[in-house]
Amino acid sequence: MMYIALKFNEMINTQDLNDLVDLMTDDHVFIDIPERSTEAKR
């Protein structure tokens, strides 16, 4: 689990959106600021 969290953080920091999406579950919701979110794999 820690590996996934570290990879997720790495993908955010390197702005690697393709690999970031690959780490997300189908029902993942990314919230970057209040009232702005993105649902995964849509």
- Which pLDDT score is estimated for 26? 84
Read off the pLDDT of residues 13-42 as tens digits, 9 standing for 90 and up. Answer: 999 988 888 888 888 887 878 778 777 665
Number of structural domains (the chain) is 1
Residue 13 lies in a domain: yes
**Which pTM was predicted?**
0.57
- What's the domain range around 14? 1-25
CA–CA separation, 3 and 39 (whole Å):
22
The residue that leads in pLDDT, 2 or 37, is: 2
Q: By the 8 A CB rule, do 24 and 41 touch?
A: yes
Q: Can you give the pLDDT at residue 15?
A: 92
Residues 6+ apart with CB under 8 A from 33: none
Q: Assign residue 16 a region: left if phi > 0, alpha if psi is -120 to 50, beta otherwise?
A: beta
Does residue 33 belong to any structural domain of this protein? no
pLDDT of 42 reads 52
pLDDT at position 16 is 92
